[in-house]
Chains A and B, each alone.
Chain A
Amino acid sequence: MEGLFSQVAALGSSGVLLCGLILLWRRGVGAYITAFTWQSAVLAALTAAVGYFGADRQLYVVAVLLFLIKAVAIPRLLRRVAQRFTAGREPAAYVNTGTSLVVSGLLVLLAYAAARPLEAISDMPTRAGMPLAMGLLFVSLFVIISRRMAITQVIGFLMLENAIALLAVLATYGVPLIVEVGVFLDVLMGFLVMQIFLYDIHDTFSTTDVDVLKRLKH
């Protein structure tokens, strides 16, 4: 049973990370939103699985919240924004696709190195997925830095939150429920504010390419 639990956890974490990598490969905001939706869905399923195997009912609640907020509500809002603002294709990012993919591979290796102390002290069956969660964390940071469209940066930030949620689920079977609820509220509020700002940027600059945000220099 424990073998199956470990396998499921490792598979789920790989799935979550791979959805993140799609952000670096495909171009087009629709593909990004789909990747994020799938990632959140896999994460919710994994949370429910950890709740089942780890006999922790609170995780079911967390999984349902995760699914509703991050796989249903937020993608819907994102698609509405994307429809209004973008022509579909992302302008050339600051780092090209091939290099981005190779860099992300190296970042995952870095995550494996950084997560070595974590794996050493943990005896949870889910510990194999922790380096993958950290890998997704680094890859999301890279996406935020290297992309030019504001909406892609927002999606990168949402993936960063997913990575941390995954780390929490794998490392400690989730944080206490009240904290989870607080985190969800914060993420939702943060996203709503970012969405407002996307509208603001578009109204003020007639584009959402963050390259134009360079009036304020030094």
Chain B
Amino acid sequence: MADTLILAGLLAPWAVAAACAAALRHRQRLAARVTAAGSVVSLGAAMWLWANALGGRAATAGPGALFRVDGLSALVGVCVAAVAGLAMLPWPGTGQGDADPGRTRFFRIFASLFTLSMLVAVTINNVALMWVAIEATTIVSAVLIPLHRSKASVEASWKYILIGSVGIALAFAGTVLAYFDFVSLLGRRHDALNWTLLMEVAPALHADVLRLAFVFLLVGYGTKAGLAPMHTWLPDAHSEAPAPLSAMMSGVLLAVAQYAIIRWKAVVDAASGPAFTNQVLMALGLVSIAVGALSLVRQRSYKRLLAYSSVEHSGLICLGLTFGPAGVFASLLHLVNHAVAKSMSFLLAGRILARYRSADVGAVTGLVRTMPVTGPLFATGIIALMGLPPFGMFVSEFLLFRAGFAAGQIAATSAAMLLAGIGFIGLAGHLARMLHGARPDGVAAGEREWWPLAPLAVSLVVMVALGLFLPSGIAQLLGQVAEAFTP
């Protein structure tokens, strides 16, 4: 009973927020407050579920354990709730800065639905319904990308919906194949597609069918996770979308797709051993890191810079999954760190775009002097993404590489380190150019209203905290999840 209430507390606020924004057509301030309150409730529920999972228990709710929140679900759920809460605050680019209430309302409705579908995806026990939720995220976020109609945003949204839908359809094909394997063994049962049951019977399932299914699943969910070579939609979509949406997509939508990959990897590994999935994940991971890092060097737009950085980090996370329990631990830590750092960077990029009115790296100079609060915060975000101490990503990357060497994957890990280094150089070069130099004409200087940035201080604190020491709550949960998901 308590579980049901908590789960309702996690999911319902977003439905309420969407409904409020839709109904209260002319009172968007009220809707904004409802959304903010709801996001706090949701985040609280997510934290409770985290603590619950720490105790080794999985919260279940719904008929036949329709919803089941274990450690991994709680982890990703907290990330989603936190980033969504941050993104729904009034940031420029969603009509709130330029007082366009229609646009604001539209954004609020669909962004709430977006968050709701992501949370459903990570808490539902049924594989196929998780698929339905992830497809819903594609559709809902696609509607939001062309919030500001332009040739570039229309192109980006078309690529996103087409490639995203095709990828998701392939993931469904993989789901059908896995279901087929189950059915041929145990007949048709109404709960056949529950994770719990799949994990139980996995050792008895046919290895070659599951391997074929995994290929489809990886291509499908990998498209959503931004793995190369299916990543072509990502730079366009993340750079053309309004900044808060990009923050959510880059930060947590990728995490939700990775969640699906991790779950399926566990099932397939239980059936056929980790060798095959490790090979495929390593190949895709390395290609993604390469594409992301090498593209970083020649970027002209700082939003695309952040997008390609997402591709690189997504590849790193996938690579880490192949390094055994220590690697899974590092990947999950990296996932959390990336969500925090990337969301903060994108939200700040939105503010920079609103001030400088150009997405070009060359056009943004003298950031430190022009926006004395946003500038340095943005710099810390980029430095965190580069993997420098004292931020969390340094720790997670270090742990990842160490796990790689410990697992004996010398070549792959060295290649990843080299490519990450190239990415580092790219980001550093662009950041330096943006921070210093003269302020361009026509751009107002100074920031009088910097208190909207206050919530980002929380992000900053989290990043530093994760970099200096790993709170035991986090470490323990990650350890539990890593152990549970590696055979």
Contacts and interface: CB of A to CB of B under 8 A. Distances in A.
Chain B interface main SS type: helix
A157 B366 CA distance: 47
Interface in B325-358: none
A17 interface: no
Given A117-B208, A157-B166, A216-B152, A179 B146 contact: no
Interface string A115-154: 0011001111000000000000100010010000010011
Contacts of B135: 186, 190
Given A172-B180, A176-B190, A190-B135, A117 B166 contact: no
Interface residues of A, number: 47
Interface stretch (B36-44, B69-77, B170-178): B170-178
Interface stretch (B157-165, B243-251, B258-266): B157-165
B254 interface: no
Contacts of A123: 184
A194 B190 CA distance: 33
Contact of A197 (B138, B161, B166): B161
A215 to B, nearest CB: 6
Given A117-B209, A167-B173, A186 B132 contact: yes
A16 to B, nearest CB: 15
B229 to A, nearest CB: 12
A201 B149 CA distance: 10
Contacts of A193: 139, 142-143, 161
B295 interface: yes
A146 B199 CA distance: 39
Given A157-B169, A164-B169, A118 B146 contact: no
A144 B162 contact: yes
Given A160-B169, A218-B295, A204 B151 contact: yes
B129 interface: yes
Nearest to A117: B208
Contacts of B138: 190
A153 B158 CA distance: 11
Given A153-B162, A182-B129, A186-B136, A197 B176 contact: no
B98 interface: no
Nearest to A182: B132
B26 interface: no
Interface residues of B, number: 50
Given A179-B129, A189-B139, A190-B165, A164 B181 contact: no
A214 B193 CA distance: 41
B179 A190 contact: no
Chain A interface main SS type: helix
Contacts of B240: 216
A183 interface: yes
Contact of B177 (A118, A144, A157, A190): A118
A114 interface: yes
Nearest to B183: A172
A211 B388 CA distance: 41
A175 B128 contact: yes
B93 to A, nearest CB: 18
A118 B176 contact: no
Interface of B: 126, 128-129, 132, 135-136, 138-139, 142-143, 146, 149-152, 154-159, 161-162, 165-166, 169, 172-173, 176-177, 179-181, 183-184, 188, 190, 192-193, 206, 208-209, 212, 235-236, 239-240, 295, 298-299
User: Which 4 pairs across A and B sit closest by C-beta, in order of nearness?
Assistant: A182-B132, A171-B180, A117-B208, A179-B128
27 contacts: A117-B209, A118-B177, A121-B184, A121-B206, A122-B184, A123-B184, A150-B158, A157-B169, A160-B166, A167-B176, A172-B183, A173-B188, A175-B193, A176-B128, A182-B132, A185-B132, A186-B132, A186-B139, A193-B143, A194-B161, A194-B162, A196-B143, A200-B149, A205-B154, A213-B159, A215-B151, A216-B235
Interface of A: 114, 117-118, 121-124, 137, 141, 144, 150, 153-154, 157, 160-161, 163-164, 167-168, 171-173, 175-176, 178-179, 182-183, 185-186, 189-190, 193-194, 196-197, 200-201, 204-205, 210, 213-216, 218
Given A141-B166, A190-B161, A201-B158, 13 more contacts: A122-B180, A144-B166, A164-B172, A172-B183, A175-B128, A175-B176, A178-B129, A179-B126, A186-B139, A193-B143, A194-B165, A216-B152, A216-B239
